[in-house]
Chains A and B, each alone.
Chain A
Amino acid sequence: DAKTTQPNSMESNEEEPVHLPCNHSTISGTDYIHWYRQLPSQGPEYVIHGLTSNVNNRMASLAIAEDRKSSTLILHRATLRDAAVYYCILRDVAGNTDKLIFGTGTRLQVFP
């Protein structure tokens, strides 16, 4: 399973944009980049995923480098509710599995 590297923690002020980086230098051509987050005392929840092109949804945007060796999750205006651990995960489309391999993630703190 390909690995990802994320900073252990990041901080932001409320209503500011947040850019959460992820390095995945060993990504294969069939790996999708997924992001999940885990709010305190809850199970993880899906945020966004992409393959090559940048992606947007109501929660966030995903910017993928041209060589796909890194990506950035963008929260456009952080709220206190966005304080969570964010996980960047690679999923092989050819693997016939739903298995998620979680790394240590980035703990995001949001200050009022």
Chain B
Amino acid sequence: KAGVTQTPRYLIKTRGQQVTLSCSPISGHRSVSWYQQTPGQGLQFLFEYFSETQRNKGNFPGRFSGRQFSNSRSEMNVSTLELGDSALYLCASSSSIGTGQETQYFGPGTRLLVL
């Protein structure tokens, strides 16, 4: 099976712009989660989708949003970009229904630089 894919891999934007990142989960996986990784804050949970429904949301401002499509592919959007949004954005998928045991499979990430 192909792994989790994320596009684009690298992105440069300027402050005030918006950005959309895409994630294709492993075939058959219905759960997709997003994380932000920065040197200062480490890995932080953004949100989680299962069957097109947001199941959980992390402590991020409303500028961060996401959605999941019927084919389980997911997108996240960040509006009005700030310098502090520069980070590695990671997507993970699992086959789960949230029992606490499922393995999360991570993509390679999208590295976003905001100038």
Residues of A within 8 A of B (CB): 30-32, 36, 42-46, 49, 87, 91-105
Q: Are A92 and B33 in contact (CB under 8 A)?
A: no
A sample of 16 inter-chain contacts (CB < 8 A) reads A31-B100, A32-B100, A42-B106, A43-B92, A45-B106, A91-B101, A92-B100, A94-B100, A97-B48, A98-B31, A98-B104, A99-B33, A99-B48, A99-B56, A100-B35, A100-B43
What are the interface flags for B49-64 relative to A under an 8 Å C-beta threshold, 1 for contact and 0 otherwise?
A: 0100001101000000
Say yes or no: A44-B106 contact (C-beta < 8 A), given A97-B48, A98-B31: yes
* Partner of B108 from A32, A42, A46, A102 at Cβ < 8 Å: A42
Q: Shortest CB–CB separation between residue A85 and chain B, in angstroms?
A: 9
Other-chain contact of B100, A93, A101, A102 (Cβ < 8 Å) = A93
B42 pairs with A104, CB closer than 8 A: yes
Q: Shortest beta-carbon distance, A44 to chain B, in Å?
A: 5
Residue of A nearest to B95 (CB): A98
Q: Are B101 and A101 in touch, CB under 8 angstroms?
A: no
